[in-house]
C-alpha cells in the first residue's frame, strides 16, 4: 500500500508580526515512531498503520517562562477556583496530592456530581492547543449527519497553520462526515477540521458558533480564534473550561464513540488493481491519546477518551475521562513544565489515581456548572457549608439519573470490562452506554 502524503501547501504563514513568540508548531513531516507496547501492537489488528508524520500533538514543547497566574481569576464554579495555586480541602486521612505535578493548570472533577475534588490555577487563561477540538466537536456534531458526503475543494484547506497535524485529506476527493470526524478525533487532523468548518459555512461562522456555545456552557475563560486550536494571538481557554467541554461532549453518543476509538481506517486514493479496475484504498490511523493506545506510556485502566493537544506555545494539554468501580472522573492538565515526552499523560494518570483514592475523603472546592446556569459567578469559598451554597446558587447536577456508562480498559493488550454504573452528567441529559472501542471502520 503506498504511503499517503500528509504535506499540505494550504497553510498560512505564522511568522507575521504580532504573533506571540513560539506560536508556530514544529513541522510534522517525519515518520511516526514505531509502536512499542503489547497493548499498542494489539491495536494493529484493525489494519496496518500507514507511515505518517509525527503530529504536533505528540511532541513535548511549550513556553518555559515562569509567568505566574493572575492574582484574581474567574470564580465560575466557586470562589476557591478563582484563587492561584493548588486548592484542595482534605478530610482526616485523605491521601496527599502527588508531588510530581508540574502542569501550569489542572482540574480533577467527579463527572457525575460535578464536584471539583482539587484544582491548580483552574481558571488560568492559557493556550489550549488541540484540546479546543472538543468544543469544535461539541458544537458541530449535532449539525451534520455522519452519512453526508463532501467533495473537498482547494478552498476548504486554505488557511491551515504551518506544520498542522493532518490526517491526510486531499482536494478533489470525497469524504463522509463520519470519515472526517475520525480524522479529527484520532489524528487531530486540522485538515479534517477545516473541511467540516467549510461544510458549516466557513471558518469565521464556525468560530462564532464555537464562541457562542462556550458562553452557553459558562466557559468564560475561553476566547476562540481558530476552530482547530492552532496557536493564534488571543486564543485561550482554561483547565476548568476544557473540563466543561468534555463533560458536555460526552452527552453525545457520537462524541463518546469517536473519542474512545483507538484505531480506524481512513479513505486514501484511488488505485488500479491487476484488472485495471479503480478502487479506493484506505490506511490505518491511530488515536493520538496515548493513555488510550499505550504508545510510549502505560495505557490507563478505565480510560475512555477524551482529547490531547500540543503546540509550541501551548505546550502539552490533555483532558481525559476514566472509570474505576462506581466512580467516573474527568482530569485536565495544561502545559506541564517538566518537559519529558508523555509528561502530560503521566501527570494525568497520577491525578486520576489520586482522585479515585481521595474522592470520598475530600470536600469539594468547587463545582462544574451546568450549561446556562444562572449566577455561575458566586461567592462560594469551598468547604461543606460553602459547597452547599455553591450547589444552590448555580443549580449544579448532583444526584442520580437513568443513564448507564460502561468503561473498558486495556491491560497488557487485552480488554478488561470494568463494569457499568448509573451515570448522568446532567439530570436533563442522561448519558447512555459508553463502550470503549479498540477499532472502528
pLDDT tens-place string over residues 231-253: 999 999 999 999 999 999 999 99
> Cell numbers 460535578 correspond to what residue?
114
Q: Is residue 428 part of a domain?
A: no
pLDDT at position 438: 52
Q: Is residue 277 part of a domain?
A: yes
pLDDT at position 339: 87
Local confidence band at 25 (pLDDT 50, 70, 90 cut-offs): very low
Written as nine digits, the cell of 14 is 505564522
Domain count, the chain: 1
CA distances from 142 to 137, 175, 253 (A): 9, 18, 10
For the segment 28-40, the average pLDDT, to the nearest whole number, is 34
Q: Say if CB 308 and CB 318 are below 8 A apart.
A: yes
Cis-peptide, bond into residue 306, ω within 30° of zero? yes
CA–CA distance, 315 with 321 (Å, rounded to integer): 20
Residue-number span of the structural domain to which 186 is assigned? 127-286
pTM of the model: 0.78
Closest listed residue to residue 307, CA positions, set 57, 44, 124 = 57
Q: Is residue 20 part of a domain?
A: no
Tell me how crowded residue 46 is: count the other CB atoms within 10 A of its CB.
20
Total count of residues recorded for the chain: 441
Q: Is residue 189 part of a domain?
A: yes
Closest listed residue to residue 367, CA positions, set 395, 404, 339, 333 = 395
For the segment 360-366, the average pLDDT, to the nearest whole number, is 98
Segment holding 207, helix H or strand E: helix 203-216
Q: Is residue 218 part of a domain?
A: yes
Judged by average pLDDT, the poorest of 135-144, 273-282, 330-339 is 273-282
For the segment 31-58, the average pLDDT, to the nearest whole number, is 37
CA–CA distance, 10 with 156 (Å, rounded to integer): 9
| Most confidently modeled range among 57-66, 390-399, 421-430 | 57-66
Handedness of CA 112, 255, 428, 135 (dihedral sign): positive
pLDDT averaged over every residue in the chain: 79
CA–CA distance, 416 with 64 (Å, rounded to integer): 39
Residue 226 dihedral angles phi and psi, to the nearest 5°: -125, 150
Q: Is residue 167 part of a domain?
A: yes
Written as nine digits, the cell of 4 is 499517503
Residue 167 dihedral angles phi and psi, to the nearest 5°: -95, -25
> Do β-strands 437-440 and 261-272 pair in parallel, antiparallel, or remain unpaired?
parallel
Segment holding 213, helix H or strand E: helix 203-216
Residue 270: half-sphere exposure toward Cβ, Cα within 13 Å:
9
CA–CA distance, 431 with 428 (Å, rounded to integer): 10
Q: Give the whole-number percent of the chain exceeding pLDDT 90.
A: 67
Q: Give the whole-number percent of the chain exceeding pLDDT 70.
A: 69
Closest listed residue to residue 209, CA positions, set 197, 194, 221 = 197
Q: Is residue 242 part of a domain?
A: yes
For the segment 104-127, the average pLDDT, to the nearest whole number, is 98
Q: Is the pLDDT of residue 222 over 50?
A: yes
CA–CA distance, 197 with 437 (Å, rounded to integer): 26
Tell me how crowded residue 345 is: count the other CB atoms within 10 A of its CB.
26
Helices (H) then strands (E): counts for the chain: 10, 17
Any idea what the CATH number is for the domain that residue 165 is in?
3.40.710.10
Measured in whole angstroms, the distance separating CA 31 from the mean position of its chain's CA atoms is 24
Query: Residues 44, 50, 53, 59: what is their CA dihedral angle, to the nearest 10 degrees?
Result: 0
CA–CA distance, 279 with 275 (Å, rounded to integer): 11
CA–CA distance, 168 with 6 (Å, rounded to integer): 5
For 48, residues 6+ apart whose C-beta sits below 8 A from its C-beta are 1, 283, 284
Q: Is residue 53 part of a domain?
A: no
Taking 3-state DSSP, the helix, strand and coil percentages for the chain, each rounded to the nearest 5, stand at: 25, 25, 45
Higher pLDDT, 260 or 433: 260
CA–CA distance, 91 with 383 (Å, rounded to integer): 10
pLDDT at position 373: 66
Q: Which of 401-413 are b and which e, b meaning 16 or more Cβ less than 10 Å from the residue's Cβ?
A: bebebbbbbbeeb
pLDDT at position 440: 52
Amino acid at each position: 500500500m503506498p504511503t499517503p502524503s500528509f504535506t499540505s501547501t494550504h497553510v498560512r504563514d505564522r511568522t507575521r508580526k504580532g504573533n506571540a513568540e513560539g506560536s508556530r508548531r514544529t513541522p510534522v513531516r517525519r515518520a511516526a515512531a514505531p509502536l512499542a507496547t503489547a497493548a499498542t501492537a494489539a491495536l494493529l489488528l484493525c489494519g496496518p498503520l500507514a507511515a505518517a508524520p509525527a503530529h504536533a500533538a505528540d511532541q513535548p514543547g511549550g513556553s518555559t517562562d515562569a509567568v505566574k497566574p493572575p492574582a484574581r481569576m474567574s470564580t465560575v464554579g466557586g470562589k476557591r477556583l478563582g484563587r492561584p495555586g493548588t486548592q484542595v480541602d482534605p478530610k482526616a486521612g485523605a491521601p496527599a496530592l502527588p508531588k510530581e505535578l508540574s502542569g501550569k493548570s489542572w482540574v480533577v472533577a467527579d463527572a457525575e456530581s460535578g464536584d471539583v475534588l482539587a484544582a491548580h490555577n483552574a481558571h488560568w487563561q492559557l493556550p489550549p492547543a488541540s484540546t479546543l477540538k472538543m468544543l469544535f466537536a461539541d458544537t458541530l456534531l449535532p449539525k451534520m449527519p455522519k452519512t453526508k458526503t463532501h467533495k473537498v475543494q482547494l478552498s476548504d484547506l486554505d488557511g491551515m497553520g504551518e506544520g498542522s497535524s493532518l490526517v491526510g485529506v486531499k482536494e478533489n476527493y470525497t469524504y463522509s462526515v463520519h470519515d472526517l470526524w475520525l480524522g479529527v478525533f484520532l489524528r487531530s487532523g486540522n485538515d479534517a477540521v477545516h473541511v467540516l468548518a467549510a461544510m458549516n459555512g466557513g471558518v469565521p461562522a464556525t468560530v462564532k458558533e464555537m464562541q457562542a456555545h462556550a458562553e452557553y456552557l459558562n466557559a468564560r475563560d475561553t476566547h476562540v480564534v481558530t476552530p482547530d486550536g492552532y496557536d493564534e494571538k488571543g486564543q485561550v481557554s482554561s483547565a476548568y473550561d476544557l473540563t466543561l467541554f468534555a463533560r458536555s461532549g460526552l452527552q453525545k453518543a457520537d462524541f463518546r464513540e469517536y473519542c474512545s476509538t483507538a484505531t480506524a481506517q481512513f479513505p486514501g486514493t484511488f488505485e488500479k488493481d491487476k484488472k485495471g479496475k479503480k478502487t479506493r484504498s484506505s490506511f490505518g490511523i491511530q488515536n493520538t491519546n496515548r493513555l488510550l493506545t499505550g504508545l510510549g506510556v502505560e495505557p490507563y485502566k478505565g480510560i475512555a477518551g477524551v482529547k490531547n493537544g500540543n503546540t509550541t506555545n501551548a505546550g502539552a494539554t490533555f483532558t481525559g475521562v476514566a472509570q474505576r468501580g462506581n466512580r467516573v472522573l474527568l482530569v485536565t492538565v495544561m502545559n506541564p513544565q517538566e518537559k519529558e515526552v508523555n509528561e502530560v499523560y503521566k501527570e494525568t494518570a497520577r491525578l486520576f489515581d489520586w482522585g479515585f483514592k481521595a474522592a470520598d475523603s475530600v470536600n469539594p472546592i468547587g463545582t462544574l456548572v451546568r450549561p446556562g446556569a444562572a449566577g455561575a459567578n458566586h461567592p462560594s469559598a469551598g468547604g461543606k457549608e460553602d459547597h452547599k451554597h455553591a450547589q444552590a446558587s448555580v443549580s449544579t447536577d448532583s444526584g442520580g439519573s437513568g443513564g448507564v456508562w460502561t468503561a473498558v480498559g486495556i491491560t497488557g493488550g487485552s480488554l478488561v470490562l470494568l463494569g457499568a454504573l448509573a451515570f448522568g452528567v446532567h439530570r436533563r441529559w442522561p448519558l447512555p452506554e459508553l463502550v470503549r472501542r479498540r477499532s472502528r471502520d
